[in-house]
């Protein structure tokens, strides 16, 4: 842990560059770009300038990006799309839900998965999470299965894979009377490159949906996504759906552009390097913050590789709500550091979800929603910036201790 004297020395030097800008919990660019991405984009544009070529959707570079991405994940097929949100919409369409059909998904989540279920007339069945991993809890999932359950929709939370083997086992043992084994669909928006028991996120499950939005671990010019699957029929269906349905079925336009794919190929080549920097930063942070009894640092199971999309911290139980909020405001007001809360239960954060879903108390999720906060982490923060974040956090904890004692 940083000792008091070092902490004061760091803070007395003031905020490192950029000084006049708040440092966001989820920085505006998830990785970083190099000249290679710029050249790839320019070259894809040059390649499209002839009227005989253009930006056609059948561009080889899109197929190449899909092939390399599938190989990276260890999946058989990858389908490039324009975002993870629309990919989750497609996933729900592929379930052909009937009114009242249920999809189980963790409450501690971004809202995209729950919006997708609602859009297809499905019922969101919230499940609880494991407080150490922040991923859904398989035991709680199994308790929520009914004859109407069609799918389990975990999010690979904050850079850590969901417990896929347990979920696949539950899905098989609790088959739907008409549709067979429940479908397991992963929201992998925040976990590109993470691994689980020696496989990459994207290899297991009916399908996994990735995001290349600007804040994500790799990005295709700010928007974009990918679906991976090992089911050929499903892959073909998705490919048709993203291009107005082919001959037989419903579809619209969910396509990624050629320039995005060209940039995506470069970002994917560099993904492990960018993620390695995140992991190094998290490890360094674990050292600097270890032994502070007011907080619990992120947990990485032995058989998983966490890629730290965010660095999730919990305050101790007694500080739920007031103590956590105090740390966040001191970090913001005194040090210009904006912590994100990634994420409280969606029904407590977004009124649309609350209005349209049936909720019931979820002991762990409701508690985590009051204890979680994420100070910014970025693969290109330097040592000075890292030290400043940790020193600010320790100072915020000291200030909060005094407040809570009053």
Instruction: Return d(Cα 342, Cα 320) in angstroms, integer.
Output: 15
- How wide is the angle at C-alpha 318 spanned by C-alphas 312 and 321, nearest 5°? 60
Per rule CB under 6 A, is residue 251 in the interface with ligand PLP?
Answer: no
Per rule CB under 6 A, is residue 235 in the interface with ligand PLP?
Answer: no
From the CB of 158, what's the least distance to ligand PLP, in Å? Answer: 8
| Cα–Cα nearest to 108, from 272, 266, 385, 345 | 345
Q: Which helix (H) or strand (E) holds 135?
A: none
Decide whether 94 or 112 has the Cβ nearer to ligand PLP: 112
Question: Site for ligand PLP (CB under 6 A): which residue of 65, 69, 77, 110?
Answer: 110
Per rule CB under 6 A, is residue 341 in the interface with ligand PLP?
Answer: no
Per rule CB under 6 A, is residue 30 in the interface with ligand PLP?
Answer: no
From the CB of 342, what's the least distance to ligand PLP, in Å? Answer: 8
| Cα–Cα nearest to 183, from 95, 75, 114, 84 | 95
Per rule CB under 6 A, is residue 90 in the interface with ligand PLP?
Answer: no
Per rule CB under 6 A, is residue 155 in the interface with ligand PLP?
Answer: yes
DSSP string, 312-375: -EEE-GGGTTHHHHHHHHHHHHHH-B--B---SBHHHH-HHHHHHS-----HHHHHHHHHEEB-
From the CB of 62, what's the least distance to ligand PLP, in Å? Answer: 17
Question: CA gyration radius for the chain?
Answer: 22
* Per rule CB under 6 A, count of chain residues that contact ligand PLP: 12
Per rule CB under 6 A, is residue 254 in the interface with ligand PLP?
Answer: no
| Cα–Cα nearest to 282, from 297, 267, 304 | 297
Instruction: Return d(Cα 217, Cα 149) in angstroms, integer.
Output: 32
From the CB of 213, what's the least distance to ligand PLP, in Å? Answer: 4
Per rule CB under 6 A, is residue 112 in the interface with ligand PLP?
Answer: yes
Contacts (Cβ under 8 Å, ≥6 apart) of 308 = 158, 159, 278, 279, 281, 282, 298, 377
DSSP string, 18-51: STTS-B-SS-SSSS---HHHHHHHHHHHHTT-ST
Question: Site for ligand PLP (CB under 6 A): which residue of 213, 240, 243, 359?
Answer: 213
Output the six-digit token pair for 303. Answer: 């058989």
From the CB of 163, what's the least distance to ligand PLP, in Å? Answer: 17
Instruction: Return d(Cα 164, Cα 205) in angstroms, integer.
Output: 7
Per rule CB under 6 A, is residue 260 in the interface with ligand PLP?
Answer: no
In the region spanning residues 67 to 86, those forming contacts with ligand PLP, defined by CB under 6 A, are 83-85
Decide whether 176 or 200 has the Cβ nearer to ligand PLP: 200
Per rule CB under 6 A, is residue 267 in the interface with ligand PLP?
Answer: no
Decide whether 44 or 188 has the Cβ nearer to ligand PLP: 188
From the CB of 215, what's the least distance to ligand PLP, in Å? Answer: 7
Per rule CB under 6 A, is residue 190 in the interface with ligand PLP?
Answer: yes
> Which residues are near ligand PLP by CB under 6 A?
83-85, 110, 112, 155, 187, 189-190, 211, 213, 225
């Amino acid at each position: 842990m940083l000792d008091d004297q070092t902490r004061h020395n760091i803070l007395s030097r003031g905020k490192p560059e950029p000084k006049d800008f708040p440092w966001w919990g989820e920085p505006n660019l998830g990785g970083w770009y190099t000249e290679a991405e710029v050249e790839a984009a320019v070259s894809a544009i040059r390649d499209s300038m002839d009227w005989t070529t253009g930006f056609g959707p059948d561009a080889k570079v899109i197929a190449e990006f899909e092939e390399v991405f599938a190989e990276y994940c260890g999946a058989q097929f990858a389908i490039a799309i324009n975002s993870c949100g629309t990919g989750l919409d497609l996933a729900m369409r592929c379930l052909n839900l009937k009114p009242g059909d249920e999809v189980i998904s963790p409450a501690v989540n971004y809202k995209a998965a729950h919006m997708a279920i609602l859009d297809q007339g499905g019922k969101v069945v919230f499940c609880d999470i494991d407080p150490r991993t922040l991923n859904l809890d398989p035991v709680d999932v199994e308790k929520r299965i009914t004859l109407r359950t069609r799918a389990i929709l975990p999010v690979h939370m904050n850079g850590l894979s969901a417990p896929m083997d347990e979920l696949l086992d539950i899905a098989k043992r609790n088959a739907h009377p008409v549709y067979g084994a429940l479908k397991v669909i992963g929201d992998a928006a925040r976990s590109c490159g993470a691994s689980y028991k020696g496989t990459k996120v994207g290899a297991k499950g009916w399908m996994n949906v990735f995001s290349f939005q600007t804040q994500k671990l790799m990005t295709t010019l700010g928007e974009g996504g990918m679906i991976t699957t090992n089911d050929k029929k499903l892959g073909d269906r998705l490919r048709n759906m993203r291009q107005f349905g082919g001959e037989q079925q419903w579809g619209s336009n969910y396509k990624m552009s050629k320039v995005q794919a060209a940039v995506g190929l470069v970002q994917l080549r560099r993904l492990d390097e960018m993620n390695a920097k995140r992991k190094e930063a998290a490890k360094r942070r674990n050292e600097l913050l270890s032994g502070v009894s007011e907080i619990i640092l992120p947990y990485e199971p032995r058989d998983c590789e966490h890629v730290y999309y965010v660095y999730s911290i919990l305050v101790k139980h007694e500080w739920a709500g007031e103590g956590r909020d105090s740390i966040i405001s001191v970090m913001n007001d005194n040090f210009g550091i904006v912590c994100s809360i990634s994420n409280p239960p969606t029904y407590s954060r977004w009124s649309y979800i609350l209005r349209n879903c049936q909720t019931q108390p979820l002991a762990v999720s409701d508690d985590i929603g009051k204890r979680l906060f994420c100070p910014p982490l970025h693969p290109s923060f330097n040592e000075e910036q890292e030290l400043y974040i940790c020193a600010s956090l320790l100072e915020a904890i000291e200030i909060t201790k005094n407040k809570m004692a009053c």
